[in-house]
Structure 1
């Protein structure tokens, strides 16, 4: 059985690549590790943290997930559009996982800023997912 964190990452990539409004913006460029040379804009799967939240009869967890959006267009409009499309696709989405059950996934915050190169616009998009799995 896979961890909730791993199953969520797989499901999120599948959902984001299939999301029509997001596809218009990034054309399926959703990566764990982006290829070189990279074409902008794109999304990367970022950091994750899992906190156990067990109950009497279930193994539960809160999974904190971070996604990143990247753009080299002047200003923030493009990266904000990509970040907004990610939020629209995932916030409260009814996602089915293979061995875990997703109770909810909720957007927590988005931060946008200019990267150190002075050219790349970057959005950090954070979610929390509550999952459970019956104890064996």
Structure 2
């Protein structure tokens, strides 16, 4: 059985890939842990994850702080904003089933879009909070 964080990460990627408007905005299924060297923009990477104990006296669980990164080189912020919006829409609509765990909740936390130092890449950071229990 995969740890809760790994199971949730796999379910998250599968859920994002199941959301046709996101895949269309990306121009294909371009959601990776580590992008290929020649990855065409735009794309999404699964970023940092922080897991904390969320157990009570009678049950066990984990709280997850999840980060997704949007990468775009389309002029201006529009493309990065659209992709970030589709990520939020996907995770509000697509049911996630982490193997061996039950997703208690998943909530959007924040999104930031900024221009990188190269002056042409826009980087979106989209954060979520999730709680899982053994299932």
Q: Would the alpha carbon gap of residues 92 and 54 (structure 1) be closer, same or farther in structure 2, given more than 3 Å must change?
A: farther
Residue 100 (1) aligns with residue 101 (2): yes
Identify unmatched segments of 5+ residues in structure 1.
none
In 1, the alpha carbon distance for the partners of 2:39 and 2:98 equals 30
Structure 2 CA distance for aligned equivalents of residues 18 and 78 of structure 1: 20
1:131 maps to 132
CA RMSD of aligned residues (A): 1.3
Distance in 2 (alpha carbons) for counterparts of 1:91 and 1:49: 21
Please identify runs of 4+ aligned residues in structure 1 that moved more than 2 A.
91-94
Residue 2 of structure 1 corresponds to 2
SS of the counterpart of 1:49? strand
CA distance in 1, matches of 2:94, 2:38: 32
Structure 2, gaps ≥5 residues long: none
Q: CA deviation at 1:127?
A: 0.2
- The two structures have a TM-score, normalised by structure 1, of 0.93
The alpha carbon displacement at 1:59 in A equals 1.4
User: How do 1:105-124 and structure 2 match up within 5 A?
Assistant: 105-124=106-125
- Matched with 1:19 is 19
Please state how far the C-alpha of 1:23 moved relative to its aligned partner. 1.1
Q: 1:120, 1:64 → 2: CA distance?
A: 25
Distance 1:99 1:57 in 2: 19
Number of residue-to-residue matches in the alignment: 134
Deviation at 1:36, TM superposition (A): 1.3
TM-superposed deviation, 1:92 = 6.8
1:32-83 deviation per Cα after TM superposition (whole angstroms, max 9, x unaligned): 0000111000000000000101123321111000000010011000000000
1:65-120 C-alpha deviation (Å, 9 max, x unpaired):
00000100110000000000000011375311211110010000000000111110
